[in-house]
Amino acid sequence: MDIQSTSRRGLYPQIDPYETGKLDVGDGHSLYWELCGNPDGKPAVFLHGGPGGGSSPDHRRQFNPDKYKILVFDQRGCGKSTPYASLEANTTEHLVADIERLRTEVAKVDRWMVFGGSWGSTLSLAYAQAHPERATELVLRGIFLFDQHEVDWLYKEGGASAIYPEYWDEFVSLIPEGERGDLVEAYRRRLTGDDRDEQLRAAKAWSKWEGVTVTLLPNAHVIEEFTSPDKAIAIARIENHYMASGGWLAEGELLRGAEKLRGIPGVIIQGRHDSCTPPKAAWALKKAWPEVDLQIIPDGGHLFNEPGILDGLVRATDKFAGL
What is the Cα–Cα distance from 241 to 43, expressed in whole angstroms? 31
- Percent of the chain past pLDDT 90, that is, above it, reads 97
Where is 37: in which H helix or E strand? strand 29-37
> How does pLDDT run across 131-183, given as a tens digit for each residue?
999 999 999 999 999 999 999 999 999 999 999 999 999 999 999 999 999 99
Backbone angles phi, psi at 113, to 5 degrees: -70, 140
Q: Are 244 and 184 in contact (CB under 8 A)?
A: yes
List 114's β-bridge partners, or say none.
45, 138
39, pLDDT greater than 70: yes
Strand 19-26 and strand 68-73: the pairing is unpaired
What is the Cα–Cα distance from 53 to 118, expressed in whole angstroms? 10
Q: What is the pLDDT of residue 230?
A: 83
> How does pLDDT run across 196-224, given as a tens digit for each residue?
999 999 999 999 999 999 999 889 999 99
Active site residue 274: yes
Q: What is the pLDDT of residue 218?
A: 83
Q: What is the pLDDT of residue 96?
A: 98
CA distances from 238 to 51, 100, 171, 235, 281 (A): 6, 21, 18, 6, 22
Cis check: omega of the bond before 218, within 30 degrees of 0: no
Q: What is the pLDDT of residue 6?
A: 66
List helix spans (H) across 76-147.
92-102, 119-130
What is the Cα–Cα distance from 85 to 240, expressed in whole angstroms? 11
122, pLDDT greater than 70: yes
Please identify which of the residues 98, 147, 274, 318 carries the catalytic annotation: 274
Q: Are 191 and 206 in contact (CB under 8 A)?
A: yes
Active site residue 275: no
Q: What is the dihedral of CA 246, 183, 172, 224, to 10 degrees?
A: 40
What is the Cα–Cα distance from 290 to 268, expressed in whole angstroms? 12
104, pLDDT greater than 80: yes
Q: What integer best gives the mean pLDDT of the chain?
A: 96
**How wide is the angle at C-alpha 309 spanned by C-alphas 303 and 311, nearest 5°?**
135
Q: What is the mean pLDDT of residues 10-33?
A: 98
Q: List, in sequence order, every beta strand (DSSP E) within 87-244.
A: 112-117, 135-141
Whole-structure pTM value: 0.96
CA distances from 214 to 1, 11, 66, 287 (A): 25, 19, 31, 25
Please identify which of the residues 55, 81, 86, 118 carries the catalytic annotation: 118
82: DSSP letter: B
Please identify which of the residues 29, 48, 241, 302 carries the catalytic annotation: 302
Domains of the chain: 19-147+250-320 (3.40.50.1820), 148-247 (no CATH)
> How does pLDDT run across 222-274, given as a tens digit for each residue?
999 999 988 999 999 999 999 999 999 999 999 999 999 999 999 999 999 99
> How does pLDDT run across 65-78, given as a tens digit for each residue?
999 999 999 999 99
44, pLDDT greater than 50: yes
Q: What is the pLDDT of residue 52?
A: 96
Query: b/e for 33-50, b at 16 or more Cβ within 10 A?
Result: bbbbbbeebbbbbbbbbb
